[in-house]
Structure formats: structure tokens, C-alpha cells
Structure 1
Amino acid sequence: MMDRRTLLRALVVGGAGALSVGGFLFTENIIGPYRLTARAIADRFEEVNGTFRGFRRNHAKGVAVRGYFESNGTGAELSTASVFRGGKYRLSGRFSLSGGNPYAADAADSVRGLGLCIQLPGDNQWRLAMINLPVFLDPTPQDFYDRMLAFAPDAATGKPDPRIMSDYLATHPGTVAAMAIAKAAPVAPTFTTTTFNGLNAFEMTNAHGVKVPVRWKLVPETTTKAPAVDRGPHYLFDRLIADIAQRPRRWAMVIVVGVPGVDRTDDATIPWPDGRKTVTVGTVVLTDITTETADNVRDLNFDPLVLPDGIAPSDDPLLSARSAAYAESFRRRTGEAGGRGAVEAGGRA
């Protein structure tokens, strides 16, 4: 389990940005009441993480995967979305680690990401962006932006200033509580033994018009405790590549059903109580893995607002701003040369 200093470093460098940012998007590219823009957020990522042309501004290091979602049909009790009709739906995706440097060495305490794009009938899609933290660390876009500045490395030391961090946390008790939850969560030894959480709330509507708040997570079939062996700068990815080459890897998709009017849907820092109803709606199966390029997922945004009918956004202010910030990152990297992934993998994805 990581100590407090290690946790803060991991979250500042990119874990908190794994879901990017939050807030309200207006046509003027403005997020929130203080003129916080997607452009400003991308600029701040570059300031903190550095700029690597052709790459995402956060979670820059990653590999492409391909496979399918096998729906078992039980999701129909919650939603009319076509993805919950029984059957197989092909998908593409991306595993990643937090941070803006695609060549950074792997570290066990780096926040892990998994983005998926599930192809549905009629050229529809469901895009999901998940990380291994159990909660987000900031309730609003402005909080996220302010914390990035407060926790930014000092130019002289290369480390965040403890006094500035302490002052920030003293006025943000929700972030303190969320960090404590994140710190208490065990870290899986490998990508394929990691549970990935959607964090934000959404709303599902079934054929009877019943609406319920939901969150989702992917729970791995593989639970071995064998760690990835640290033998090089890409050791976590090397293990991931070997695991998928050995056999397809599987995650159960679990929908957590909230209680309307009781469970918070507008604050991703607050977990819902244990014991809420869960519905296992199918299995994500990943069969192939390859180097990330423009030919697979480099130019694919895992935008959380790309949703099938039957699933809608909640009132969480993070959602629209994640969409805006992803679009800004896309605009920047697709206008730049480069972007071939630093992690070399085989496969046919």
C-alpha cells in the first residue's frame, strides 16, 4: 500500500486527471462560472506534465487492445440500451498509466486507466473511461484545476511544496476524505488483476420508463496475487502484453444501482454505501494487444458522453468538462507529428 507522499505524487502527476476535468461546457469553450476552459485545463496539464507532441496530455503512455463485450441480457432490467441485449459486441480500447510522458518508467503506484469503445447496432457506440481509483478526488472542475496548481512540482526542488499542499487541503475537506479512501484501497499487482471504476454516476431507463442512478465497474476474472516483475521501464505493460498473448483476459461488467434521491449523483468523491444492488450485465473479453498508433486508438477519445439510448448523463458536473477536455487534447495531438506509442506490442488490434 502506498504512503501518503507517494499517493499525492501519483495523483498530482496524473491520477486525478485520469478522468480529466469537470464542469459545464458552453459554446465559448467555457467550463464553469469562472471562465475555466478546456484549453486552460490542457495548458495546465502541459505545465505540470510537460508537452509530448502527438500524445494525450494525460495518460500518454498506453497500448491498444481489441476484443468484445458479451452481454448476458440481464442489463435489460435496468436499461433499453442495445448493448444489454444478449450477444457479442466488438470493442476497441486502451490501457494506460497516468502522466503526460509516454516514455516514463512504469511504477506500481501510477494510476491505471482503461478506455473502451463498444460498437453497437446502427453505428452507435458506448464509450467508457475508467481508472483503478475507487473515487475521484475533486467534486468540481474548479477544485480540480486549483489542486493541480497547488500540487504542482516546485521548479527548484522538482517536488510539490508541502506547505502549499497543506494549505489547500485545509480548505477542501472533501478532497481529503476522497484521498483517504483512495489510499486505503489495495493496489492490484498487474493490469489484468485490476478493477476499473467508472466513478461518475449516470442514469438508466428501462422499457417501463423506470429511471435509476447507476455507476459501473469492471471486475477481473483473474485474481492471482503474482506481481509483475520489475525488469525494465515497461514492466507493467510487458506483463500485460504477455498475459493477453497467453489467453484472452476477462472482466465482469457490474452495474451498481443507486437509490434515487438518496445516493449522490453530482459528486464523484463520495462513494455509495456498500450493499447497494449490483447487476452483472456481461463480460468484457480482451483478445489482442498492439502498439498504439493513429491506425487504432491514438485518435479515439474515450468520451463519457458518447452513450447509447437508454443511458444518460447524471447531474455530475465532471462529465461535460471531461468531454470538452478530451476534445481539446484530441485537437492538439492530431495537429502534431508523432504519437506512436512508446510501448511496443504485437497482436492485431
Structure 2
Amino acid sequence: MPPSAPRRRTGAYIAIAAVVAAVGGAFAWTAGWLSPDRLTPTVMTDAIETTSTTPYPGFRRAHAKGICVAGHFDGNADGARLSRAAVFRATQTPVLGRLSIGGGSPYGLDAQARVRSMALVLQGADGSEWRMAMNSFPFFGAASIETFLEQTRASAPDPATGKPDPERMAAFATRHPEAQRFAAWAKSAPWSDSFANTQYNGIHAYRFVGDDGTEKMVRWSMRPQAPFVEMTPAQREAAEGNALQDELRERLARGPLRWDMVATVAAEGDNPSDPSTPWPENREQVVVGTVVLTQAQDQATGPCRDLNFDPTVVPAGVALSDDPILAARAAVYAESFDRREREVARGADVDGTPPPETAR
């Protein structure tokens, strides 16, 4: 093995750990409270908390740093042909949302975060809600709930060093090829220089149900209309701590920002139950609507702060797939939400003011 190979391999394991910490709040096993031998929302949330060396009461356990956004969703006829969801037949369905970076610190440096995320609530005129939680990675790094728990525990930092143990991460990756594939993405994919030109992916499969009852399995992404621009390592290192948020506000001052909602339709052989397996790029893609964001607000005082972006909340015309990880997300989202709400009630400081040593 060449002398540089161990360093390259260690880098891959650290890449896995960084992204696991970033998206840790997303997944857990539901109904596990029925048996002490199975995973529970409490067990999973406890494991997620160990990926951060410092607790931040009152903040989200993952994606702690974010900014509230608002605007609307414009549906179209192509979306209405795939699903009877009311938002596809309406224009200007109100949207509340949050753009965030990965990680458990509300004082993280924007440009240093590998993962960017978009969470939305579409508020239908019929009283329905559609909640979405999307990330910049194109597929997940674990194929099962049990594997994700193992991955989360393996990526917890060593108290002595503050970093994950490379040997422990290497052992995990050896057992799980999907983690190796995810690490390769984390190391090689270009970094966008803006929230506005990042593509956000729903990862999981859902059923779109048409007026006649026809069902199609789809995965969706929010594809930016703003052209992609890569942020170089030197630019990331030099950027101010709130670079992405500040840049977003500057763009919004010039006008609305748009993402096309693109539904990728499954074909025979595509597995809707495994979010770690990408579907082939030649699958049918349909633009079903457009998200238009017009304003941003600090999360400490904005309407997104206390929203639970549970991606299992869907309107009529959309149904969950058999993906067990998707089905499990509601439980850990609720557990994390309850913890931070109790902390806020006890007086946790969530004003978002960075400590001096973390500001840049």
C-alpha cells in the first residue's frame, strides 16, 4: 500500500463522521419503545447527542444553525397529472422554511459545513400541510436503521481528542459498503458557494397518487434556478462565519430565489425502501412546481424556530413508501423537539448570539 493511502483512507472516515454528525437528527426506529431489545427514539437521540462535544440546550440536535425563510410554491399541470395533492393545482401556496448547515453547533462556520439543508412546510388552502426535509447529499450513508445507529456511535468523538476514532470508523466502513460510497461523495463532490445554488434532495421515495388512483413511486429534489458556483478550499477557509446566511440575504434583497421541484419517477428494479441506493440517472424526471423564496429572518425570532419539519407529514395525493428509515423519522424528530422545547421552557438561551471564541 502506498504511504499516502492510510492518510487518504483516514480522510474518508472523517468525512463520513462529519456528515453523520451533520444529519444525525434525522433517523431512528419507531415503535421501539414496545421492546427493550429494540431501538427507541430515546436511544437514537441519545446517540445523536454524543456526536457533538458541547451540548447546546434549546437548539436542534442536528442542523442547529439555520435561517428562517418564507415565500410560496407554484404548482403546475405536470405535477397535477402525477398527484392529486392540492398544491399542484394552486399557485402561491404559502411556504415557511429553514435553510441550515449540518452539525450540532448553532455557532458553526457556514463555509466549513459539508452539508446544507432545506426544510419546508407547504400550507395548503384546504388546511393540509406538506412538510419536507431535504439535504445536499444525493443518497444516504446507511441502508438500515440499525446500521445508522452503529454509524452514529462509531462517529462519536473521542473525549481525549475531540475527533472520531479513525480505526473505529474504518471498521464500520469495512462492514458497510454504502458508507464507503457516501464517503466518496463527501470527499469529491464540489461545494456550492451559496444556499441559493444548492440542490436539495428528499432522499426517500414517496407515492404520488393521481386522481384516478394511479400510483407512481418518486423521489424529489429542489433544483436551483441560480447557476452553480463552486466554493474553493481557499474561499471556504477565508469566509466569515455567517457567509452563507449573509450571502442569502444579499440575494433576496435583489429579488426572489427559485428552485424547481423535480420528481424522479421509479422504474422496474428501483428499490424505494433503500435511501442509500441512488436510482439511475436516466429515469424520467418531471418538474412538478417551483419553490419561490422572498424573505429571510433570524431563526431566533423567526417562525421556523419552533417548527418540527417531520417529513412524514404529507397531504392527500402523497403517501409514504415502505422505506423503514423514512417511517422512523417522525419518532426521533418528536423526541428531539420535545427535548429542546423543555429546555427553552427552563430558560435555555436560544438568541443565537455566538460566543466570542467562535465568531469570525
Same fold at TM > 0.5: yes
Deviation at 1:255, TM superposition (A): 0.6
Are the equivalent residues in 1 in contact too, given 2:129–2:315 (CA < 8 A)?
yes
Q: For residues 269-323 of structure 1, what are the alpha-carbon distances to aligned partners after superposition, in whole Å with 9 as ceiling and x for unaligned? A: 0000111111101110100100113650111111111100111000111112211
Contact 1:214 1:255 in 2 (8 A): yes
State the identity %: 39
Deviation at 1:342?
A: 4.5
**1:347 aligns to what?**
none
For residues 199 and 33 of structure 1, do their structure 2 counterparts lie closer, same or farther at Cα, with a shift above 3 Å needed?
farther
1:33 & 1:80 partners in 2: Cα distance? 41
Residue 117 of structure 1 and its aligned partner are, at CA, apart by: 0.2
Is 1:43 paired with 2:54?
A: no
Q: Does the alignment pair 1:339 with 2:350?
A: yes
Distance 1:282 1:257, change over 3 A: same
Aligned match for 2:175, one of 168, 171, 175? 171
5+ unaligned residues in a row in structure 1: which ranges?
Answer: 344-349
Moved more, 221-230 or 158-167: 221-230
Q: Identify, as 1 or 2, the structure richer in helix.
A: 2
* Match runs of 1:93-112 below 5 Å: 93-112=97-116
Deviation, 1:43, is 1.3
From 305, 308, 311, the counterpart of 1:301: 308
The one-letter code sitting in structure 2 at the alignment partner of 1:265 is P
Output the TM-score relative to the length of structure 2. 0.87
Correspondence list, 1:164-243, <5 A: 164-225=168-229, 227=231, 230-243=238-251
Does the aligned pair in 2 maintain the 1:71–1:84 contact within 8 Å?
Answer: yes
Q: 1:54 aligns with which of 53, 58, 80?
A: 58
Choose from 241, 245, 255 the match for 2:253.
245
- Mapping of residues 85-164 of structure 1, within 5 Å: 85-164=89-168
Match of 1:133, SS state, is coil
Q: Which amino acid letter does the alignment assign opposite residue 322 of structure 1?
A: R
Q: Tell me the TM-score normalised to structure 1 length.
A: 0.90
The number of residue pairs the alignment matches comes to: 335
Q: What secondary structure, in the 3-state scheme, does the structure 2 residue paired with 1:319 have?
A: helix
Which amino acid is 1:241 matched to?
A: R
Supply the distance in 1 between the matched residues of 2:60 and 2:243 (Cα, whole angstroms): 21
Answering whether residue 20 of structure 2 is matched by residue 12 of structure 1, we say yes
- Secondary structure at the residue paired with 1:336? helix
Code of the aligned partner of 2:203: L
Structure 2 residue matching 1:279: 3-state secondary structure: strand
Alignment of 1:281 onto 2:284: no
Q: Alpha-carbon deviation of 1:172? A: 1.1
For residue 231 of structure 1, report the CA deviation from its aligned partner: 4.0
Please give the secondary structure, in 2, of the residue aligned with 1:48. Answer: coil
Cα distance in 1 between the residues matched to 2:121 and 2:243 = 26
* Structure 2 CA distance for partners of 1:336 and 1:149, relative to 1, 3 Å: same
Q: Deviations over 1:205-257 (max 9, x none)?
A: 11122111100000111115274774421112211222222211110110110
Structure 2, gaps ≥5 residues long: 1-10, 355-360
Distance in 2 (CA, whole Å) between partners of 1:90 and 1:320 is 26
